[in-house]
Chain A
Amino acid sequence: MAVYKRGYERYRGRLEGRWRRLLVLPRYTFRRMFRQRHAIVVLVASLAYPLWCAVYIYLAGNADLLDRLGSFRQYLAIDGAFFLRFVSVQKVFAVFIVALTGPGLVSPDLTDNALPLYFSRPLSRADYVVGRLAAPVALLSLATWVPGVLLFLLQCGSAGGGWFAANWRVGVGMVAGFWLWLALCGMVALAGSAYVKLRPVASGLVLGFFFVLGGVAGMVNLVFRGTAGSLLNPSWAVWRLSAAVMGTDGKGGAAIASAPGAAAAAVALAVLLLLLVLVLERKLRPVEVVS
């Protein structure tokens, strides 16, 4: 029967379980994000460097070529530093992608006061945040840890089991670093989207968060002639932790030796994430209570 002839009938059938319901929000968030054509362009552009790295790994694993290079072969070494550089480059792309997609995550719901409708459903605030966060994290994964793991597997296949046994920590450090970065980017995007309704301003806020904090950290280091200011730079903190897990922090020379340790970087990141959670907790409420 045609739908317009049917009339309303109350639904009394089976309901989906909790986990299936939780997947609804990421699905609809993806639709919102894919309306941002610029983000898709940046996502595609972000795959250029992993492709170049794949070629590099192929060349580094090519015995004939290595023989012909002679003493230059040392420059084609694939080690922790190579993957740490890969993490650093892809982190920048992740920031640009999240700056373009992030503003549309929460602000439409806040602008039109839709939160009471969400929270009158079987959906907690944590479910809402996770649901909204899952989509950008999945998108950023395509530019970060997924190509990273593929490159690592490519190198393992190319260099053999011996290389994996000596460098497995590199893979773990890279994935851990990327996941930390994705969590941070996602939370910053959500918080920016929750506070600023204008899309360009929210994008600017996300970019500003990462680049301005980096600048401030540098200034603090210069003014106080120390290295503790680096803890204000989330990018540096993630890099420091990745390097520690990869086991490459001992090879950084005096600069890294005098910088704050991985534990301090972990604490700085934890504090930052906690602040972002508090910001979201304050803003994402079904009703505003004025005391």
Chain B
Amino acid sequence: MAGVVEVENLKVVLGRREILRGVSCSLGDEGAGKAVGLLGPNGAGKSTLIRTLLGFHTPSAGRARILGFDCHRETREVRLRIGYMPENDSFIGNVTAVNFLRMFAELSGLPAKVALEKAHETLFHVGLGEARYRELRTYSLGMKQMVKLAQAVVHGPELLILDEPTNGLDPAARQRMLRLVREMKEGQKMNILLCSHLLRDVEQVCDEVVILKDGMVAHGCNLEEERRSNRRFVELEVVGDDGGLGAGLEGIGARGVAEGAGRWRVVLPAGVEVDALWGVLRREGLLVHRLTHRRDTLEEIFLKAMGHIAHTPGEAA
């Protein structure tokens, strides 16, 4: 399956600074409705990458394609298929939310009547139904974020690009925003490119992450695969004589390392589930104090990509 976003050796120079220094990656699967998180510290080039994909910046080398269309040469085709929610406040203060969405839906090519219907429909969906005839300048920050999301999805894009969508939202509004984004992905099969500093947001919504550092891809991983592989690593704490546990684990094909004081790290081979481990522990007559799966959080993956830690705890196991 072709990637939704395909970037090859992309370089972007702004002023005299090279912001993107040869980014290459393939994000998402066309038609699959996947969410990709774009992470990186400040100045890593996340926003520049997004703006280059939107055709705002001209690459000095390399190329970027969205859904098979070149972002620089076929800008119009690209923009017909995407929805963009910018990081900063972007609205028109003296128009009502309905007219705001209607105009942008029409600019994206929806017929006028359909655009009006979709504007109402989308505003109710994001929870602004009651406020849809109010001018946008009277909206609170949370409402403005929601209306930005609404304008990005009103025309039903294939790819939704969200730049810090939960900026400035309180916890309840943040959860609502993330729920809406998940619904777009799972219910409407939209592909999502989510750029955020908040790793928990990315963890909750995304299937893949790409981590940028100094204008280059530092790490890319599939969060689902990561979660699956994490389930194969078990941390164990037992009470009793665990002298025979090593042999017992070998009996089911697993490998274990004793760390002393009843602590073990166990790697289960493919096809062996935790039930088999429980069986070994029962046969050895051990009392289990703790049995946990390894959890390399996105924060650990991110810190490792940034070079702040050498290994994630799971890898150390």
A residues lining the B interface (CB < 8 Å): 3-4, 6-16, 18, 21, 24-25, 28, 108-109, 111-114, 116-124, 285-287, 289-291
List 9 interface pairs A-B (beta carbons < 8 Å), by A numbering.
A6-B124, A11-B156, A16-B106, A28-B99, A116-B86, A118-B107, A120-B86, A291-B14, A291-B16
A235→B174 CA distance, assembly (Å):
57
| B residues near A13, Cβ cutoff 8 Å | 110, 114
Known: A16-B109, A24-B106, A112-B92. 4 other contacts (CB 8 A): A4-B124, A8-B122, A10-B188, A120-B82
Nearest Cβ on chain B to A285's Cβ, whole angstroms: 8
0/1 interface trace, chain B 46-64, chain A, CB 8 Å (1 if under) = 0000010011110000000
Nearest Cβ on chain A to B156's Cβ, whole angstroms: 4
From 91 to 111 in chain B, residues with beta carbon under 8 angstroms from any chain A beta carbon are 91-94, 99, 103-104, 106-111
| B residues near A9, Cβ cutoff 8 Å | 121, 188
Complex partner residue of B156 from A6, A10, A24, A117, CB under 8 angstroms = A10
A289→B106 CA distance, assembly (Å):
29
Given A10-B190, A108-B94, decide whether A4 and B80 contact each other with a Cβ distance below 8 A: no
A287→B88 CA distance, assembly (Å):
11
Given A13-B114, A15-B80, A108-B94, decide whether A3 and B121 contact each other with a Cβ distance below 8 A: yes
- Once the chains bind, are A114 and B90 in contact (CB under 8 Å)? yes
| Residue of A10, A11, A113 with most chain B CB atoms under a 10 A cut-off | A11
- Once the chains bind, are A122 and B111 in contact (CB under 8 Å)? no
CB nearest to B110 among chain A residues: A11
| Residue of A116, A120, A121 with most chain B CB atoms under a 10 A cut-off | A120
| B residues near A290, Cβ cutoff 8 Å | 15
Nearest Cβ on chain A to B164's Cβ, whole angstroms: 13
B73 within 8 A of A: no
Given A6-B121, A122-B79, decide whether A24 and B107 contact each other with a Cβ distance below 8 A: yes
A120→B90 CA distance, assembly (Å):
12
A22→B188 CA distance, assembly (Å):
28
0/1 interface trace, chain B 116-129, chain A, CB 8 Å (1 if under) = 01101110110001
- Once the chains bind, are A25 and B155 in contact (CB under 8 Å)? no
CB nearest to A109 among chain B residues: B92
The 10 closest A-B pairs by CB, nearest first: A291-B15, A15-B109, A11-B156, A10-B156, A8-B125, A120-B84, A10-B188, A121-B107, A122-B76, A24-B106
- Once the chains bind, are B93 and A117 in contact (CB under 8 Å)? no
- Once the chains bind, are B90 and A8 in contact (CB under 8 Å)? no
- Once the chains bind, are B103 and A12 in contact (CB under 8 Å)? no
A4→B124 CA distance, assembly (Å):
6
A79→B297 CA distance, assembly (Å):
85
- Once the chains bind, are A120 and B79 in contact (CB under 8 Å)? yes
| Residue of A4, A6, A122 with most chain B CB atoms under a 10 A cut-off | A122
B153 within 8 A of A: yes
| A residues near B120, Cβ cutoff 8 Å | 3
A38→B286 CA distance, assembly (Å):
89
| B residues near A286, Cβ cutoff 8 Å | 51, 54, 56
B275 within 8 A of A: no
| A residues near B76, Cβ cutoff 8 Å | 18, 122, 124
Nearest Cβ on chain B to A20's Cβ, whole angstroms: 8
A16→B115 CA distance, assembly (Å):
11
| A residues near B104, Cβ cutoff 8 Å | 117, 121
| A residues near B110, Cβ cutoff 8 Å | 11, 13, 15-16
